[in-house]
Structure 1
């Protein structure tokens, strides 16, 4: 996305943290950026801080909210080139001690996994219809590969999103839309709630990964998720996937599609 061509970008969970950090760099590079999130105050503060930033208050934890977001994007940004599925929540509670209502767990699954899958299904046809190169970025986590006992459901949902992202990349391989998996380690954000921030410096992380999100890299890590050992393991797994992916004939996206009626 360091290209001089102006791109139209949607970032979920863009009111703070990694989403806002990427939005700031995209705006500075001359791109059009729309961010969405559940907190009106957080989004308003982001727009005040970053002139030109477009905001849309919305909850993607439910199908209706995701459809509402897609309808809004089609109306105000039909030329969408880049979708960054970044919205997240992390409940730090171990399996044996989790006595919370199931709705809290379901909300975590819906935001972390159902939302990016559903939004891709809703918006990829529009990204293909205009025929320009596009990028879909799914933000997973080091926890997808190193399960974290303090956040087991978060780790599992991110692992599921990683698996889906590999298949989505395969489904889009003959189109101009590239699929990127951004794999952050722990980054110092408000993801897990007040007093829980720890990890890599947010600005250092965003400065490092931002130039790599242009579609030229299938996976982008940082620190422990960018070591030679980690990337070698990822390459081995990708080679195994490619060897097995042709066992059954599965339809894939075509370069140009008709958008839904």
Structure 2
């Protein structure tokens, strides 16, 4: 995809991977809008990087997404790139199940991005060089047992992205999946392979996005073992390795 001259919305753009992606795109000459629940974090990013704009959004509150999209269409009329990055990880225990936690994770990581994408599709269809970038996870392919709903939502977002790419094949909208490994952010979860620096991760993502021919999926080196575990016949071994440090104490 073209990495300059776009108007980009990054959800979850106040912290972590979203913040790093927003800054990287801003530095490449894009107009960047960040959205999320943490207004103080959003404001801090915008103040540190003049030109980045922000607006509050709780992606889990799907009833409010329609009014958010209407506002976007009024204020940022040339929006052509959506980065669905907002996400939350929760550690869950079968001994003390909490449906409210599971519901929040599903709403934030899966249902919210689906609703936002659906409502923005008419706008994106009318823009040249439009793109939808969904941030999934290497855990979509090999789950972390103590974060079962998180892993499931990322697997669901992977499937949604694959389906959306087929549905939009003739639309001119480029649909891309980015499947991060464990990255050092505020949401850094336990278990799994060693984490990678967020800025190094985003630099590798930017290089892949600018490659020719255009990519449909970005898998950085640190995510390859999980992403391709099943294809390469190592799924059982990798699943055991990802969960090797999981004990009862982790979830109680």
TM-score (norm 2): 0.84
Looking at structure 1, the residues matched to 40 and 3 of structure 2 have their Cα atoms a distance apart, in angstroms, of 32
1:71-110 alignment, distance < 5 Å:
71-94=70-93, 96-100=94-98, 102-110=99-107
Q: Name the CA shift for 1:109/1:232 in 2 (closer, same or farther; >3 Å).
A: closer
Residues 182 and 188, structure 2, Cα contact 8 Å, conserved in 1: no
CA drift of 1:20 comes to: 0.7
CA drift of 1:170 comes to: 0.2
Tell me what 1:166 maps to: 162
Residues 91 and 108, structure 1, Cα contact 8 Å, conserved in 2: yes
Looking at structure 1, the residues matched to 117 and 150 of structure 2 have their Cα atoms a distance apart, in angstroms, of 20
Tell me what 1:41 maps to: 40
Residues 83 and 135, structure 1, Cα contact 8 Å, conserved in 2: yes
Looking at structure 2, the residues matched to 228 and 87 of structure 1 have their Cα atoms a distance apart, in angstroms, of 21
Looking at structure 1, the residues matched to 151 and 227 of structure 2 have their Cα atoms a distance apart, in angstroms, of 20
Tell me what 2:236 maps to: none
CA drift of 1:147 comes to: 1.0
Is 1:134 paired with 2:130?
yes
Is 1:146 paired with 2:137?
no
Tell me what 2:220 maps to: 222
Q: Name the CA shift for 1:7/1:41 in 2 (closer, same or farther; >3 Å).
A: same
CA drift of 1:11 comes to: 0.5
Looking at structure 2, the residues matched to 232 and 220 of structure 1 have their Cα atoms a distance apart, in angstroms, of 17
- Partner secondary structure for residue 228 of structure 2: helix
After superposition, the CA RMSD in angstroms is 2.3
Q: How many residues align?
A: 227
TM-score (norm 1): 0.81
Looking at structure 1, the residues matched to 171 and 215 of structure 2 have their Cα atoms a distance apart, in angstroms, of 16
Which stretches in structure 1 are left out of the alignment for 5+ residues? 235-261
